Amino acid sequence: MPKVARPKPVLLPELCKGCGRCIEACPKQCISMGTEINQASGLIPVIIDADVCNGCGLCISACPEPYGLTAAGYELEDPKDLYGHRRPEQEGPVTIPDQRIPLPQCEPLVLKGTYASAIGAILAGCRHVFGYPITPSTEGAELMAKLLPQLHGAFLQAVSEVATVNHMYGCGGAGLPCMTFTSSPGFSLMLEGISYMIGAEVPTVFVNVMRGGPGLGNIGPEQADIKLVCRGLGHGNTHGIVLAPTTPQEMLDLTMEAFQLAFKYRNPVIIAADGYLGQITGRVNLPETMVKPGLPDWAVYGDEEHRHNLINSIYLSEPSLEKHNEHLNAKFSLMTTEEQRSKTYKAEGARILVLSCNTPARMAKGAVEKLRRQDVPVGLFQPVTLWPFPIDHLKTWLAPTSGTDPVTDILVVEASAGQLEDELRLALSHAGIQGVRLHHLRHMGGVLPQEPEVIEAVRNIHSNQPQEVTS
């Protein structure tokens, strides 16, 4: 039988780092350390004595360089001629759009806030929920743990909030809608991961049911993460849309919307609720449609179409990281102009606006209703997006175009030490608005501002307002 000659290894000197690992691997001692510096690499490649070589290939499997020592050599070839079938680059993945499916007409449900949010996520097509138990957000996770397996989805209890956010990074990076329920201390732990998500453009949804802080604080309702969600989403130039629901109905509606926004911008979206809102039960109407999610073209899904994709936040060279930041900031600007949301109640003709969100906005709404009955010209302005702050909407009340008198005073009602007011002040300052008088009613530590206090505070402002001079 003729002896088949085994091919001898091909050394590409410019790709050899001269480490010498192949030398020891060779049973025939045909490789030796080189002596000459390679002009292209600046390193000293080894030398192979091909005469002695028997083509055993052991040196190849000892070479750490992919193309330093190979059986076939290395030439830049057309990828499609290599190693079997590969999808041509130009046949890039195509985004499979979400589908809207009609829901059967249903009677209103009676739901607590966390449940309403969980159901909103299910209706938005989310079938993957990760989380770590923390009061007062846990019921959302519990409901998911019960329902998702029945829809062939999964709830995974993570080892910590740090793990949670990274499970989400993987699942969101695979292009699927995923979310978590957490509360303030847990949210603090997630911030590193959120920064990675923003950098790598991974869409995810966080429901932060804010509780009393700092530190372990308590489980009462607070709004003291507003600074964190609006200004502190981890390191770097980060921002994310922050939605502030007020009722169980909004918990459902805004959770659904959060997924749309997350995928629209490839960015995390935060739902900032408060402890009260997590627990309050109320009437909730289901929407007319639910979502069957598609799959975005950028997903690292683990299939043929998406093989070339990469989820990554490293940009080694400074100019390319600056460029990436410019790209992210362009998205933030777009969110700022496109996604401001707010609601008002009896703001028409108001000289005083109560500005409030989450549960305090309901107390404020009750106060506005009662004050209006007593002819106090007050209205409610409820920011639904805390970031971007709905300054364009607020502006129309501060300087109305029609003949009505503008708002002269704003009373910020919040369960924090002025974090919502800081957002307002920053927004007013950026918009160059001056002259409106700011007042505040604040509580902290799990105490919420109550309706009678709001009424009293508005009355005080009203009685100190300069009387209109009529001539």
Partner 1 sequence: MTTATAFFHKFDRHADGKGLKGATTHYCPGCGHGLIHKYIAETIADFGIQDRAIAVSPVGCAVFLYYYMDMGNTQAAHGRAPAVAIGHKMANPNSIVISYQGDGDLASIGLAEIIHAAQLGLPISVIFVNNAIYGMTGGQMAPTTLVGQKSATCPAGRGLFEGLPMQVAEIMAQLSGTVFVERTALYDQKTRKRTRKAIEKAITLQMEGRGFGFVEVLSECPTHLKMDPMQAEAWVRDEMTKTFPLGVLKDDDRAPWFEMKPPEFDPERVAELVGATSVAPERYCTEFPEHLAPEDVSLKLAGAGGDGAQTAAMLVTNAAINEGFDATHIPSYGPESRGGTSYADVHVAKDEVLSPASPSPNILIAFNAPSLAKFGPTVHTGGTIIYDSSVISEVPEFATDVKVVPVPFTEIAQSLGKVLVKNVVALGALQEATHLLEEDSLLFAVRRSLESKCAMIPINEEAFRWGVKAVKEGVTHFE
The H-assigned helical ranges of 12-137 are 21-25, 58-61, 113-123
52 exposure class (CB count in 10 Å sphere: 0-12, 13-18, 19+): exposed
Decide which of partner 1, ligand SF4, none touches 167; Cβ closer than 5 to 8 Å per partner kind: partner 1
CA distance 329 to 280: 37
CB of 31 to ligand SF4, least distance (A): 5
Binder of ligand SF4 out of 10, 44, 47, 58 (CB under 6 A): 58
Binder of ligand SF4 out of 10, 14, 17, 425 (CB under 6 A): 17
Among positions 69-98, residues that touch ligand SF4 (CB under 6 A) are: 69
CB of 414 to partner 1, least distance (A): 15
Task: Map residue 221 onto helix, strand or coil.
Answer: strand
Nearer to ligand SF4, 45 or 296 (CB): 45
CB of 153 to partner 1, least distance (A): 5
Residue type, 285: N
Q: Would you count residue 219 as binding partner 1 (CB under 8 A)? A: yes
Q: Would you count residue 76 as binding partner 1 (CB under 8 A)? A: yes
Decide which of ligand SF4, partner 1, none touches 119; Cβ closer than 5 to 8 Å per partner kind: partner 1
Binder of partner 1 out of 11, 176, 241, 386 (CB under 8 A): 176
Decide which of ligand SF4, partner 1, none touches 287; Cβ closer than 5 to 8 Å per partner kind: none
Nearer to ligand SF4, 57 or 366 (CB): 57
Eight-state DSSP code of residue 431? T
Token pair belonging to 321: 């990281």
Q: Tokens 């040196």 sit at which residue? A: 59
Of the candidate spans 156-164, 258-266, 418-426, 428-436, the one that interacts with partner 1 by CB under 8 A turns out to be 156-164
Q: Would you count residue 268 as binding partner 1 (CB under 8 A)? A: no
Element (H, E) at 385: strand 385-387
Nearer to ligand SF4, 65 or 453 (CB): 65
Q: Would you count residue 13 as binding ligand SF4 (CB under 6 A)? A: no
Beta bridge partners, 182, equal 208
Between vectors from CA 173 to CA 127 and to CA 333, what angle results, nearest 5°? 105
CA distance 116 to 133: 18
Nearer to partner 1, 66 or 403 (CB): 66
Q: Would you count residue 64 as binding partner 1 (CB under 8 A)? A: yes
Report the candidate in 95, 73, 101, 56 with the shortest Cα–Cα distance to residue 14.
73
Q: Tokens 């804010």 sit at which residue? A: 210
CA distance 36 to 313: 40
End-to-end CA distance of the chain: 121
Q: Is residue 60 within 8 Å of 12, Cβ to Cβ?
A: no
Decide which of partner 1, ligand SF4, none touches 69; Cβ closer than 5 to 8 Å per partner kind: ligand SF4
Binding mask 132-151 for partner 1 (x = CB under 8 A): ---xx----------x--xx
Residues whose CB falls within 8 Å of the CB of residue 305, separated by 6 or more in sequence, listed in order: 87, 92, 93, 94
Binding mask 275-314 for partner 1 (x = CB under 8 A): -x--xxxxx--x---x-x-------xxxxx-xx-xxxxxx
Binding positions for ligand SF4, rule: CB under 6 A:
8-9, 11, 16-22, 25-26, 28, 30-31, 45-46, 48, 53-59, 62-63, 65, 68-69
